[in-house]
Structures are given as C-alpha cells and as structure tokens.
C-alpha cells in the first residue's frame, strides 16, 4: 500500500521502475496518482493498494518508483508477503 504522508501538499506519482525519466506529462509508466490530504490531522489520507493476481508472477516493491509532484513530499509504504 502507498499512502499519502499527512504533511503532503501535492500529488504523488506511483510508477513502474522501468523508466526513471520525468513521466508527469504523458503518465506512460504511472500506475496511480495519490493526492495530498485535505487536512494534515483529519485526512482523508489517500492511498492505493496493489495485489498480485491469483494466477501469475508476484511483484516486488523494488519494481515501484514514487515521484513527488512537490519537493519534500513523501508516501508511507507497507507490504505484506504471503
């Protein structure tokens, strides 16, 4: 899961790590956009969750790249193996 940090003020881009060039215009490798929270204390704190399909190869968190629309913003990342 990728969740917006409470202090964020801009959009976070969750991308595939295949191409690290700035992709904010055409979003070719962008999987999700995570907006900034409405309130740093009350939220809502937007998030996106990815899961491996029942059939197919699992994925690795290292395959994802998070790009900040505003310098200094961040995400909270969590993953479960199993």
Q: Scanning the structure block, which residue is given the tokens 């699992």?
A: 58
Of 6, 9, 1, 28, give the one whose Cα is nearest residue 68: 9
Of 73, 67, 76, 82, the closest CA to residue 48 belongs to 76
Report domain extents, the chain. 1-82
If pLDDT is split at 50, 70 and 90, which confidence band does 80 have?
Answer: confident
Q: What is the pLDDT of residues 8-50, one digit of tens each?
A: 999 999 888 776 676 777 888 888 899 999 888 888 888 888 7
DSSP string across 62-74: GGEEEEESSTT--
């Amino acid at each position: 899961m990728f969740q917006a940090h409470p202090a964020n003020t801009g959009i976070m881009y969750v991308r595939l790590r295949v191409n690290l060039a700035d992709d904010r215009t055409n979003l070719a490798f962008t999987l999700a956009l995570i907006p900034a929270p409405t309130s740093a204390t009350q939220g809502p704190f937007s998030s996106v969750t990815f899961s491996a399909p029942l059939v197919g190869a699992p994925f690795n968190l290292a395959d994802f790249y998070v790009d900040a629309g505003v310098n200094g913003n961040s995400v909270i990342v969590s993953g479960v193996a199993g």
